Amino acid sequence: MSASVAMITLRPGAMTDLGAVDRVMRDAFDARFGEAWTASQVAGVLAMPGVWLTIAEADRTVAGFAMTRAVLDEAELLLLAVRPAMRRRGVGRQLLRSAMVEAGHRGVGKMHLEVRAGNEAIALYRLAGFEKIGERRNYYRGSNGKSFDAQTFQTILR
């Protein structure tokens, strides 16, 4: 049986969305893995040139977001998070696709991302054409001090 699909709307994000972004991160990223950013980290990066935020809304609620940075002809998906209650409804896929399309509009030819080894999102990234190109051992440190590897992926956009 499949979950009901809510109408997802994507819109550009702004500094005024940082409270909602922080709430999504707290819901989406388990502290055991050490993946979430602080609100000040998000604000600092969002203020940098070439960075954009995309907000996904469902039923007038922020369901997820993606933050991406483009420098010259390469881009990096910095963060992608979806509230657990909204997962497996296409929110992450739409956010990822939007980031890739916008990067292409900005003249980007290659996109990178990094994800914790074992994260379920890896299947989404692979379906979108990303291939693993590297690994960083013990990159993430969870709330209990345990370390987790990070995997780096890339895809060619054009």
What CATH code would you report for 8-156? 3.40.630.30
What is the reported pLDDT for 69? Answer: 98
What is the reported pLDDT for 34? Answer: 81
Query: Which residue ranges make up each domain of the chain?
Result: 8-156
Q: How far is it, in rounded angstroms, from Cα 76 to Cα 153?
A: 10
Output the pTM of the full model: 0.92
Residue segments in the chain with a per-residue pLDDT below the cut of 50 = 1-3
What is the reported pLDDT for 30? Answer: 82
Q: How far is it, in rounded angstroms, from Cα 35 to Cα 129?
A: 23
What is the reported pLDDT for 45? Answer: 97
Three-point CA angle 102, 108, 114, nearest 5°: 85
